[in-house]
Structures are given as structure tokens and as C-alpha cells.
């Protein structure tokens, strides 16, 4: 079973939920797909079997001797990654989506396929939790190939995906294929607004969802009323507590210091399994 953990906005507690859930359940793979700022691994400082590799994406390589500067490749490229000048064909690698179309239509066969690295895929193990996370290089605009590569390495029976914030392409890629999406929100008007967008996204992808209310006790009843109206189950509430915030800020899983919470995360998994089975 793959469970993605998402939220419409950053800072709602996705990583808090994902890391503590993984540590409480054990026997899971935790995929940090927030590749622009992965931080799940920081909560597992004692890690074994740590290693990493490059995430390669295809790019065109131009043979300048064969090229006649006809311009068909740059006309075709929807991403404006190619510019043909009388002396040279310029490639802007960060704009290239690696579709291979330019190579297919070049009449001179002057384009072959090369590759370049856009980031690193890291792997490690902490006790019963196997960790995988992507780290996009600074300045790289496309997170989705790296997210796809991280997810392709998942092989456990139970996989938790820590998604990027927002509701754009990287989130879609992180959530895609999951059996259930856990939406973490906070009970404020901001939380409600972003939650409602995230719900539209996962429903559009036909993925069942449930809500974790983080920092409960603050704000108003808007999130609760919305979930009731939309028949979205609230599966867990984590109260606004200074102790939890302090532990998080020190990179400590709060379930290690507040052991009673481990059972609550195990129960959360059971409720998710029930929701998936009832579909």
C-alpha cells in the first residue's frame, strides 16, 4: 500500500506526520519527495547503508558538423530549449523536458541523446524504516523527473510518501499512484482554503483521502465543518503543544518522547486501511 501525505500549503506538518508515522509503524519505506527541500532524513540521524546516486535525465546532443541550421528543431521545441543561430545551435538544458522530439525530426540526423544529472537520490536505513529521498540541485526547475525516480525505487509493502507543498506538478507526481492520500491541515482559514484545493486535486485523480488536523485547538471550526460537508474523514488530530513544536525544532521525533502517540499513529494506519478496503 502506498500512502501519500500532502497538504495544500507548506508548514502544516506533513513531515511531522510522515516521519512519526513511519517510526511508529516500522517496516515501512519513507519516500521524501519534497525534493527541493528534503528534511525527513534529519529525523533519523542514526542511519545505516547510506548511499546515493545521480538522477539522470536525457538531453539532446547536437553534431555541429552535420547540422545545416535549418531551424526545425527549435521550431518544434515547445519549451524553447533550443535556439538556432547561423554559427551554432544553442541548448538551454534546464528548459529541456527530454522528450526526444527534436532528435526524431532532425532531417540530418544531427541530434543524438545525451544525459545530465539534475539531482541526487539518497538511500539509507534507520532501524525498521528504509529511507529514500531526492535532492534537486539548486537552480534546477524541474522536480518531477527526480520525484519519479525516487518513487521508482520503492519496493516495500508499505510506502509513505512525503509530498512537496502546494498543488502543482510536483505534488501530482508525488501523489500519483497512491492508494490513499492523507491531507495534513491546520484549523485556520488559510488551512481550509489550501485544503479545499488539495481535495479537488486528489479527487480529480480518483484517490481517496482523509485529513489530519495539526495544531488543533487554534483557529476556528471551518476545517471541521468543511470535512463534514464533504464527507472527508478526520483521521487524527495533533494538538497545538509547545513540547511537540520544541521536539520538532530539534529534529526529534515526538513519538520517541511521547510514547503514547505511537499507538495513535498505528491506529491511523488501521483507519486508512479500512478506508481503502471500503472503496
Residues of the shown chain interacting with ligand SF4 in the complex, contacts defined by CB under 6 A? 60, 62, 67-73, 76-77, 79, 81-82, 84, 89, 96-102, 106, 108, 110-111
Cα Dmax for the chain? 70
Calpha distance 82→101 (Å, rounded): 12
Phi and psi torsions of 135, nearest 5°: -135, 105
Question: CB-wise, 58 or 156, nearer to ligand SF4?
Answer: 58
127: left (phi over 0), alpha (psi -120 to 50) or beta: left
For residue 67, the minimal CB distance to ligand SF4 (Å) is 3
* Separation of alpha carbons 46 and 37, rounded Å: 20
For ligand SF4, the closer of residues 93 and 208 by Cβ is 93
SS3 131: strand
Nearer to ligand SF4, 80 or 228 (CB): 80
Note the helical H segments in 153-207: 169-175, 189-204
Minimal distance, residue 17 CB to ligand SF4, in Å: 36
**Residue 59 C-beta: closest distance to ligand SF4, Å:** 7
Comparing CB distances to ligand SF4, the nearer of 23 and 77 is 77
Shortest Å distance, C-beta 148 to ligand SF4: 16
- Judged by beta carbon, residue 102 or residue 235, the one nearer ligand SF4 is 102
Judge whether 180 and 210 are in contact, CB under 8 Å: yes
Q: 260-277 and 14-25 are packed helices; what angle lies between their axes, rounded to 10 degrees?
A: 100
Nearer CB in complex with ligand SF4: 85/220: 85
The C-alpha cell of 217 is what?
485547538
Cα separation, 62 vs 192, in Å, equals 50
Length of the chain: 279
Residue number, 101 or 222, with CB nearest to ligand SF4 = 101
- Least distance in angstroms from the C-beta of 71 to ligand SF4: 5
Name which of 17 and 84 has its Cβ closer to ligand SF4: 84
Residues pairing with 132 in the sheet:
31, 123
Smallest gap from residue 115 Cβ to ligand SF4 (A): 11
Work out how close the CB of 103 gets to ligand SF4 at its nearest, in angstroms, rounded to a whole number: 7
CA proximity to 195, closest of 228, 227, 173: 227
Is beta strand 234-239 parallel, antiparallel or unpaired with respect to 111-126?
unpaired
- Residue 148 and residue 154: Cα distance in Å, rounded? 10
Minimal distance in Å, beta carbon 78 to ligand SF4? 7
Amino acid at each position: 500500500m502506498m500512502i501519500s501525505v500532502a497538504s495544500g500549503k507548506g508548514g502544516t506538518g506533513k513531515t511531522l506526520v510522515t516521519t512519526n508515522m513511519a517510526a511508529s509503524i516500522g517496516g515501512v519505506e519513507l519516500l521524501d519527495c519534497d525534493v527541493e527541500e528534503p528534511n525527513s532524513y534529519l529525523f533519523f540521524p542514526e542511519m545505516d547503508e547510506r548511499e546515493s546516486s545521480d538522477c539522470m535525465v536525457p538531453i539532446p546532443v547536437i553534431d555541429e558538423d552535420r547540422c545545416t541550421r535549418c531551424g526545425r528543431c527549435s521550431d518544434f521545441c515547445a519549451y524553447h530549449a533550443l535556439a538556432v543561430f547561423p554559427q551554432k545551435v544553442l541548448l538551454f538544458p534546464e528548459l529541456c523536458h527530454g522528450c526526444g522530439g527534436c532528435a526524431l525530426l532532425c532531417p540530418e540526423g544531427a541530434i543524438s541523446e545525451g544525459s545530465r544529472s539534475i539531482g541526487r537520490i539518497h538511500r539509507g536505513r534507520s532501524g525498521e524504516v528504509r529511507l529514500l529521498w531526492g535532492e534537486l540541485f539548486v537552480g534546477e526547475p524541474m522536480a518531477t523527473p527526480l520525484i519519479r525516480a525516487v518513487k521508482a525505487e520503492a519496493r516495500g509493502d508499505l510506502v509513505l510518501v512525503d509530498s512537496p507543498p502546494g498543488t502543482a506538478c510536483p505534488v501530482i507526481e508525488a501523489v500519483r499512484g497512491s492508494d490513499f492520500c492523507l491531507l495534513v491541515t491546520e484549523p485556520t482559514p488559510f488551512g481550509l482554503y489550501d485544503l479545499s484545493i488539495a481535495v479537488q486535486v486528489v479527487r480529480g485523480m480518483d484517490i481517496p483521502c482523509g485529513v489530519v488536523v495539526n495544531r488543533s485547538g487554534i483557529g476556528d471550526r471551518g476545517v471541521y465543518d468543511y470535512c463534514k460537508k464533504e464527507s472527508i474523514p478526520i483521521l487524527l488530530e495533533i494538538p497545538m503543544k509547545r513540547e511537540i513544536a520544541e521536539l520538532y525544532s530539534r529534529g526529534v521525533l515526538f513519538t520517541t518522547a511521547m510514547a503514547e502517540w505511537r499507538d495513535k499513529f498505528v491506529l491511523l494506519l488501521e483507519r486508512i486501511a479500512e478506508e481503502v478496503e471500503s472503496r
